[in-house]
Amino acid sequence: MSTADADRLEIRALVENWALWRDAGDWERFATVWHPGANWMSATWFQGPATEFIAASRTGFENGVSILHFLGGHTADLAGDRAVAQTKMTINQRADVDGVTVDVVCTGRFYDFLAVHERQWKIVRRQPIYEKDRLDVVDPAASLSLDPALLGRFPIGYRHLGYVQTKAGFAVRNGLPGLTGDAVETLYRQGADWLAGADTPGIPLR
């Protein structure tokens, strides 16, 4: 096996461990996927260092917040001890909206900036790309009317996810990268710059 192939396998395993350990509440091992020198996590409801993301995720997990991740196709571009990986994913959240239990599913990609630390690949920055989503009522006999003004606050890629999370009390950030648009084009440029040796993995959203 070539070095590049081995690196890609290790990065893929790292991405899979992120999803499995985070969703299972395995916080000690979840902390090991992040680069200790510099790391940043962005989500609809959170933007900050990995340590704070772990703490916030743990608090939500222990209080019954149900957010799960499923992974699909994966690719990684390598440049020495740096890489940029993209992984197809879905975010699944179950919550109550105005007394009605719903499932919201958002499809997109994890866009990861990575670097080698002590001979192991670690995540330096993660920025999800939100491509499309939907909302389903769990009980077919129930009905739910959405507030069009609140729904319209968010871009099409995570419109329903943003709606549900806002109703659940989260502060949801607007303007995150979608399938097309300035935000995702900026992210792609930052990824190319990271592979070319930039000092930082772009300017993470805050």
CA pair distance 43, 53, nearest whole angstrom:
9
Measured between alpha carbons, how far is residue 44 from residues 36, 91, 128, 195 in Å? 23, 11, 9, 26
pTM: 0.96
Residue of 83, 119, 85 whose CA lies nearest to 12: 85
How do strand 66-79 and strand 82-97 relate by DSSP bridges?
antiparallel
The pLDDT tens digits for 106-163 are 999 999 999 999 999 999 999 999 999 999 999 999 999 999 999 999 999 999 999 9
* Residue tagged 């890609």 (tokens): 8
HEC profile for 75-133? EEEEECCEEEEEEEEEEEEEEEECCEEEEEEEEEEEEEEEEEECCEEEEEEEEEEEEEE
The pLDDT tens digits for 182-198 are 999 999 999 999 999 99
Residue of 99, 87, 109, 98 whose CA lies nearest to 158: 109
Residue of 109, 172, 164 whose CA lies nearest to 134: 164
**Residue 10 burial class via C-beta count within 10 angstroms: exposed 0-12, middle 13-18, buried 19 and up:** middle
The pLDDT tens digits for 14-39 are 999 999 999 999 999 999 999 998 89
In the chain the domains, ranked by start, together with CATH numbers, are: 3-195 (3.10.450.50)
- The first and second tokens of residue 65, run together, are 């917040």
